[in-house]
Amino acid sequence: MLSSGQKMVIVLAVVSLGFAGYLVFPAMYITAQEQPEVFVTHSGAVVQTTGDILDPVYTIQEVEFDPEKYLRDFDYGKVSQLEDGTTLREFTIIAEDDKIMEIAPGIFYNVWTFNGQVPGPTIRATEGDLVRIHFTNNGDKEHTIHFHGNHPAEMDGIFEIVGSNGGQFTYEFIAGPVGVHPYHCHVMPVEEHIGHGLYGVFIVDPKDGRQHADEMVMMLNGFDTDFDGENNLYAANTIPFYYQHHPIQVSTNELIRVYVVNMVGLDPINNFHLHGTLYKYYPTGTDMVPSEFTDMTTFSQSERGILEFEYEYTGRYMFHAHLTEFSEKGWSGVFYAKDSSQPNMEGYAYGS
Amino acid sequence: MQKIVLNQTWKGMLMEVKRSSRTKTAVSVVIPFVLLAVMIGYVFGPGSELIEFGVVLPEISIEKVEFVDSEIIATVRNTGPIAVDVVMADINDRIYPAAIEPDKHLERFESAIVRIPFEWNEGEPYAVGLTVDDGTRFEKQVDVAVPSIQPTAEMISYFALIGTYVGILPVLIGLLWFPFISKLSRSKYKFFLALTVGLLLFLGVSTAEEAIEISANNLSDIFNGILLVATVAVVSFLGLNYVGEKLRKRAGASKLAGPVAIALMIAIGIGLHNFGEGLAIGAAIVLGEAALGAFLIVGFALHNTTEGFAIAAPMARTKLMIGKLAAMGMIAGVPAIFGAWVGGFVYSPLAAVIFLAIGTGAIFQVIVSIMRWIQNEEGKLSNSSVLAGIAVGMIIMYITSILI
């Protein structure tokens, strides 16, 4: 028979060995799935795993924000005519700062939103229209809307801080100048308010319009999800790699117009590179004459412009930041150009 | 007054417990635990609002990175206070599609393997990053990418050979001092026995240092590196003390038993230390630090001849028992081979820290045994040749350790 001291020693030894063993080799308890899953790498290799896939490349994403919809969604406001014939466009924008959004598969981030989304709605007016924005701040912090463009000083959204939990302000100004502009919260620290998502695109069309085109908006943005002063994710329209997995459908020989606005914070510059064709570039969209015919444009913070191009050949064409760090952290996508002569294709043929 | 009353009450209770049956004893053990569990459940459990302040931050640690054919494999462990999902992988801050096995959800302390298909280049540094569900990214830097070593027959025998060079041969060479020591005068012998204590003191400190260093560099704070080393070392010290005591009792009154038992304990302690050395060499080779690996092999080999001496010294007053001596040489040396295998093939920083801490405890236990033995055999400890021996032993070790 063992003495109680010996028993104690044995129990101690067994317990400590078991615990140490669990800590050292916990991965031994592998519960293999019945069906191995398969994923495709960036270079096309097919890899099989019994576990979970990180960054599912070719599956439908279920993120809350829909970049597909945002791309071609323009808010023209509630339209009415003033007595003098001026068009009045009224918009309602509500700021919130408590939303947790899945900004990349599995990554949940506290976004601050205009009308519940990042970026906020794309506001569109014609030069000379009276724009009236009914702004409500339902957030816990103070917010404003600062529009780039022409307006009186008291409509600038800088000194007119809108209080939290229901504070209101009405921004009113004549739309101008023609072009593509950002709007964003201007409460300090501005970097924080922009970094969390309080920004959007404001388009002012010329009075006699632009040539018909397949128009889209690309807000270049980034998120510093761990607050270490470096962006973890970059994208055109919030969701990293979205248009790479879900190519933007366009038609060959049709004019494509992209309104690009760079709101990436923390990094001083961003850029845009297009494959397979070159574009006419209109800085800030304020002039009707392009400044360049190129496939690479550099954007500083809040710099923006209009790109016009068309594809001659069908197929997949990448567009992405030529800063490879940004492109490989999400800011890359694909245009899928289809033959415009095929039936059932919507759109307008350029030059017809 | 109250105190006294309380004291008396306690005494009364204890007396009662003593008198009561075993079941009552068991119940009296269980009751405080039950009350404690109820209290913890009430204070911290669901529905409690007492501790609803502060923010709990997730934490994961990338413990190991391996480079295999067209793939980088990271071993990740949840070392934070809450369960997390690992949702994104990157190499050099560039996001890549990857797989996590067995699954992306990690409970506390749970670990998983992340496989990132990547055409890596040998010899280049890489940073492996993993992002968890709240967007926090954790990174592990690898200085040099080297193909991870597979346990092929060739590699197994290669590591065995290195272990032999480092562990077995130097220890056996050191044992050849046996005839020299056995011819020494009593006071000189005492000096050399004390020299052994100095050698072991140095080895004990260096083993503990290495354990603490590995834990500081590779283990998450959650493991309380220094306390882990201290706890394991003390437990191993006590455990070996217990075993040593048994060993001596079993050996009985035989005059020989004392020295042999001590030599055996020295051999075991040194064996655990050499396991650590093998671990270091194996890991250095795996991590691609070829120069460090070669350096360690030469250094440890020179160093380890002194260990043979340490084993030989206590047995020098007995008649020469070549078989026993050789066996002890093997006990001390062979673990270097196992260490090289473990370090080379299944390196885990936690396992390394635990092994090294056990070694530390073992070495200090041996020191205590030798000191006790010197005291029994030779009288007092504070004798000039004993003190000089300890000092010289440490100095020799220090000098050999910086020369190589």
Window A:221-280, CB contacts with B under 8 Å:
223, 225-226, 228, 232, 240-241
| Same-domain status, B99 and B236 | no
A20 touches chain B (CB under 8 A): yes
Region of poorest pLDDT, from A195-209, B9-23, B206-220, B359-373: B9-23
ipTM of the complex: 0.80
A20–B99 C-beta distance less than 8 A? no
Window B:124-183, CB contacts with A under 8 Å:
131, 133-137
- Pick from B25, B69, B82, B95 the residue to mutate for testing the A interface (most A CBs within 10 Å): B95
Reference A305, options A242, A259, A272, A252; nearest CA is A259
Q: Is the pLDDT of residue A283 over 50?
A: yes
Domain of B100, in residue numbers: 60-142
Reference B140, options B79, B85, B84; nearest CA is B79
pLDDT, mean of residues A289-299: 95
**Residue B23 maps to a domain:** no
A141 touches chain B (CB under 8 A): no
Structural domain ending residue among the three candidates B142, B168, B190: B142
| Same-domain status, B265 and B329 | yes
| Same-domain status, B91 and B187 | no
**Residue B209 maps to a domain:** yes
Return d(Cα B296, Cα B343) in angstroms, integer: 13
Q: How far is CA B111 from CA A6, A307, B103, B128, B150, in A?
A: 34, 48, 10, 16, 21
CB pairs below 8 Å between A and B: how many?
Answer: 134
A328–B99 C-beta distance less than 8 A? no
| Same-domain status, B73 and B173 | no
Residue with tokens 């009288």: B379
Query: Are B274 and B401 a contacting pair, CB within 8 Å?
Result: no
What share of chain A has pLDDT > 70, as a percent?
86
The domains located in chain A, with CATH, are 65-209 (2.60.40.420), 210-352 (2.60.40.420)
Structural domain ending residue among the three candidates B87, B116, B142: B142
| Same-domain status, B89 and B218 | no
Region of poorest pLDDT, from A302-311, B100-109, B262-271: B262-271
Cβ-based contacts of B136 with chain A (< 8 Å): 225-226
| Same-domain status, B80 and B212 | no
A57–B97 C-beta distance less than 8 A? yes
Identify which of A9, A23, A325 has the shortest CB distance to residue B93: A325
Return d(Cα A267, Cα A348) in angstroms, integer: 38
pLDDT, mean of residues B196-203: 82
B109–A23 C-beta distance less than 8 A? yes
Assign A251 to helix, strand or coil. Answer: strand
| Same-domain status, B301 and B387 | yes
Maximum Cα interatomic distance, chain A, rounded to a whole number of Å: 108
* Angle CA B302–B308–B314, to nearest 5: 145
| Same-domain status, B225 and B354 | yes
Rounded to a whole number of angstroms, the distance from the CA of A161 to the nearest CA of chain B is 29
Residue A212 has what pLDDT?
A: 94
Q: Count Cβ atoms below 10 Å from residue B401 Cβ, excluding itself.
A: 14
Position with higher pLDDT, A71 vs B18: A71
For residue B324, the Cα-to-chain-centroid distance in whole angstroms is 27
- Pick from B64, B101, B107 the residue to mutate for testing the A interface (most A CBs within 10 Å): B101
A107 touches chain B (CB under 8 A): yes
Cβ-based contacts of B133 with chain A (< 8 Å): 106-108
B404 touches chain A (CB under 8 A): no
**Residue B322 maps to a domain:** yes
Selection from A35-49, A229-243, B269-283, B296-310 with the highest mean pLDDT: A229-243
- Confidence bin at B210 (pLDDT 50/70/90): confident
Return d(Cα B345, Cα A67) in angstroms, integer: 47
Structural domain ending residue among the three candidates B142, B170, B185: B142
B85 touches chain A (CB under 8 A): yes
| Same-domain status, B301 and B199 | yes
| Same-domain status, B180 and B253 | yes
**Residue B183 maps to a domain:** yes
Query: pLDDT for B281-328, tens place per residue?
Result: 777 676 666 555 666 677 677 667 777 877 887 777 777 778 888 888
Cβ-based contacts of B109 with chain A (< 8 Å): 22-23, 26
**Residue B347 maps to a domain:** yes
Query: pLDDT for A61-115, tens place per residue?
Result: 566 788 999 999 999 999 999 999 999 999 999 999 999 998 888 899 999 999 9
**Residue B36 maps to a domain:** no
- Pick from A53, A54, A102, A228 the residue to mutate for testing the B interface (most B CBs within 10 Å): A54
What share of chain A has pLDDT > 90, as a percent?
72
What is the number of domains present in chain B? 2
**Residue B54 maps to a domain:** no
Residue with tokens 């051999």: B267
| Same-domain status, B335 and B314 | yes
Position with higher pLDDT, B241 vs A310: A310
**Residue B288 maps to a domain:** yes
| Same-domain status, B169 and B109 | no
Window B:111-130, CB contacts with A under 8 Å:
111-115, 117, 119
- CATH number, domain containing residue B116: 2.60.40.10
Residue of A nearest to B348 (CA): A24
Identify which of A26, A51, A109 has the shortest CB distance to residue B109: A26
